[in-house]
Chains A and B, each alone.
Chain A
Amino acid sequence: MKSDIVKTLVIRFLSSVLTLFLLVSFLFIIIRLSPGDPTDKYISAKLGSELSERIAEKFSLNQPMTEQYLSFVSNVFRGDMGVSYNFRLPVFEVIWEYFSFTLVFASISFILQMSLSIWLALYVIKKRKKWLNKFVTNSSLFIYSIPAFVLGVSLIYIFSVTFNLFPISGLRSLDYDDLSNLFQVLDKLHHLVLPLITLTAAGIALFYKYIKESMDDVLNQTFVINLRASGVHENIILRKHVIPNALRPLISVAGVELGILLGGALISEVIFSLPGMGRLTVDSIFSRDYPLVIGCVFTAGTVMILANFLADIIKLKIDKRLVKGILN
């Protein structure tokens, strides 16, 4: 059994690496296929053909495609992704700075999503009111249908423009530097309230749908009826038997969702102009900062694949029967 698990994990790990490798190759192909090349920024018609050829040589554009590809892949995997055009800093450093923000932002949102959705599902099941169930199901579907940017903009309109409760954008107030440490944290949190709501609302609705459906599934199974018949308290049935069994579909979805969140909550970061991975990616794409684009997309992909891998490990931990199922 133990060796089975190890084998599964190793194969799963290798396939993740393979996926990452394919992603990098895909990036290379896309960048090379797109019109224009990296030397465009430096070559103009005024330069002689000799000079422009020398620049092309500097960028190793005259080497065969396979050579370029190999050096590209090895550089990316060694973490050497060049220097960003806009920041004039190594790509790795830029990304690290923005990623730390996204890490905090996404983690808070993720924890909120998980805990609130499970709590809501439990609440609805415990209450056993048909109208409540229907109401929550329909409203969660409705909330899920609100695009992040519509929600964000409406929140800005209601809370920032009309009632002036929260700041419109950014992460710091103007007098941020004069504040004491505690107030600096509070100030940041104050700025994060609306973005967090924007980012979290759809996730709660999504998780609620999955957890509720699988809880209903489990509740209909015979062992639950058996437990009830033997007089086990309803709370214990829910906590000890229903939730662990119902978590499985949630964990796979959660892995994907965590990956997306960590890869950068693109839309909400753009709306509230927060310094996160999502906005960095969009900005770098629009300003044609290719090294940074590659770095951002690579980071997002890595994080995503890592989150999926983690989710699989957790699933294995919960349910050992899944050893074979994960590889498919």
Chain B
Amino acid sequence: MKSGLKIIHWIVFLWLLLVIIRYELIIDYLSLIFSYISLLFTDTSSALTILSFNFVDASLSTLLFLLIVPLTLYFGKRFRFITGMLNFSFGFLIMLGFIFLFAPIITNENPEFSKNLSVTKLLPPLSTVYEFELKSDIDNNLSDAEFFLKESEEVIKPPFNDNIILADSFRLSDKVIYYQKNEANEIEKESLISKTGIPVIKTKLYLIGTDEFGRDLFARLIFGTRISITVGLGAVILSFIIGIILGFIAGYRGGLLDVLLNRFAEIFLAFPVIYLVVLILALFGSSIFSVIIVLGISGWMSLFKIVKSEVLSIKKKDFFSTAELVGLSKIKLLSREILPVIIVPVLVNMVFLFSNVVLAEAALSYLGLGTGSSYPSWGSMISSGQEYITKAWWLIAFPGLGLILTLFTFNSSGRMLGKVLNPRLRK
């Protein structure tokens, strides 16, 4: 596919798209960061206590977002990858990276926000509702920290907000009458936030619909992507560390330890890992960390085998014995002499491992053993969507599609990498 499009063009395109769509949000985030910094100078202790994960997340994302273009331009010269040709897999891979890094910029809806269930429950994609915002009591003697919190809630939305009313339709007379599923309610114009005397009524768009609790599916999908990728990365890195170290020990030392480790790897390989994972998670309880650890531990065998066989052959090479005789420590031998030689097959294996882990995490969440209900995850979204399968196809279609495309991307890029390595398949 010689389209002439390079990967860097795609990165810049996605970046520009986000800038154009979300420039208001980015400016809001920036002003929030500045007011936080000024708060840090005036009132350090309370500034530190009100620091929340969401705020740190959003501000880091924003800063990284601003830096990404100079960074790619700078590092682009070093990595040939960035000027490579664009194809579907790489394009989707980069999109996933964008979602992972810049989730708070892509959507600032809270994935847990649910209000006025009768209006928002199970809305199909591209439906809109009207959003009224009540005036909150204005307190003039707010401290700086409280003022900052109030300001930040405007941008980083909390999961609960009593001041927002969602409605199907409305009528303006001397009062505002709004309808929620044939039920009419009225409120005073004065109680709404207004601009030059006219109450502000926004329309709220649900891009891919809502779920059974009236939560925005798009926001859940975006943040669910993050969870899946975090679990995948964490587990793969853990497998990498275990596999490399055990493989090095087995290959380098040999002897009884080698035999034992081999048997051990054999057990893990000779067993449907998903059973062990389900068993361990059910016995010890499941959280995002235990999922990462269990999946990481259950995936080290293939890496172990690769590293061991490579170490066995490297051990006899001249450059390695020289390095040994110079007196390098074991860690340096591993990181400087062995890792650079075996990094490519290891990398291919890790790509496949990543797709396995993402799949396993989704399957676990589907069974109700995943990262828990506090985080939206693709698997749990599908499993809760299955109950509404007759009414709401979008609950399953979008997370399912995301999962399929992610797995496909990783499988096919792993295969592409593998082809580069295996000259017999290349023609």
A residues at B contact (CB < 8 Å): 15, 18-19, 22-23, 26, 30-31, 34-35, 138, 141-142, 144-150, 153-154, 156-157, 161, 213, 216-217, 220, 259-260, 263-264, 266-267, 270-271, 281-282, 285-286, 293, 296-297, 300-301, 304-305, 308
- Residues of A contacting B366 in the complex (Cβ-Cβ under 8 angstroms): 149, 267
Label chain A's interface by main secondary structure: helix
CB pairs A–B below 8 angstroms (6 shown): A22-B263, A146-B407, A147-B400, A150-B400, A220-B424, A300-B271
Q: Are B267 and A304 in contact (CB under 8 A)?
A: no
Nearest-neighbour CB distance to chain B for A256, whole angstroms, equals 8
Looking at the complex, which one of B270, B282, B284, B403 makes contact with A19 (CB distance below 8 Å)? B270
B residues at A contact (CB < 8 Å): 263-264, 266-267, 270-272, 274-276, 278-280, 282-284, 355, 359, 362-363, 366-368, 379, 382-383, 385-386, 389-390, 393, 396-397, 400, 403-404, 407-408, 411-412, 415, 424-425
A-B contact count (CB 8 A): 118
Q: Tell whether A146 pairs with B270 under 8 Å between CB atoms, given A30-B279, A216-B425, A220-B424.
A: no
Measured in the bound complex, the distance between the Cα atoms of B110 and A263 in whole Å is 41
Q: Are A263 and B403 in contact (CB under 8 A)?
A: no
Measured in the bound complex, the distance between the Cα atoms of B408 and A161 in whole Å is 27
Q: Are A156 and B279 in contact (CB under 8 A)?
A: no
Looking at the complex, which one of A216, A286, A301 makes contact with B270 (CB distance below 8 Å)? A301
- Residues of B contacting A22 in the complex (Cβ-Cβ under 8 angstroms): 263-264, 267
Measured in the bound complex, the distance between the Cα atoms of B264 and A293 in whole Å is 22
- Residues of A contacting B390 in the complex (Cβ-Cβ under 8 angstroms): 161
Q: Are A285 and B282 in contact (CB under 8 A)?
A: yes
Q: Are A147 and B359 in contact (CB under 8 A)?
A: yes
Q: Are A153 and B382 in contact (CB under 8 A)?
A: yes
Residue of A nearest to B362 (CB): A147
Residue of A nearest to B269 (CB): A256
Looking at the complex, which one of A30, A141, A297 makes contact with B408 (CB distance below 8 Å)? A141
Label chain B's interface by main secondary structure: helix
- Residues of B contacting A282 in the complex (Cβ-Cβ under 8 angstroms): 278, 367
Measured in the bound complex, the distance between the Cα atoms of B366 and A148 in whole Å is 11
Looking at the complex, which one of B282, B368, B397, B407 makes contact with A145 (CB distance below 8 Å)? B407
- Residues of B contacting A259 in the complex (Cβ-Cβ under 8 angstroms): 270, 272
Q: Are A156 and B367 in contact (CB under 8 A)?
A: no
Looking at the complex, which one of B263, B279, B283, B424 makes contact with A217 (CB distance below 8 Å)? B424
Q: Are B270 and A308 in contact (CB under 8 A)?
A: yes
Q: Are B275 and A147 in contact (CB under 8 A)?
A: no
Q: Tell whether A260 pairs with B280 under 8 Å between CB atoms, given A153-B386, A267-B363, A282-B367.
A: no
- Residues of A contacting B382 in the complex (Cβ-Cβ under 8 angstroms): 149-150, 153
Q: Are A153 and B396 in contact (CB under 8 A)?
A: yes
Q: Are B263 and A293 in contact (CB under 8 A)?
A: no
Nearest-neighbour CB distance to chain A for B174, whole angstroms, equals 48
Q: Are B275 and A300 in contact (CB under 8 A)?
A: yes
Q: Are B272 and A19 in contact (CB under 8 A)?
A: no
Q: Are B403 and A23 in contact (CB under 8 A)?
A: no
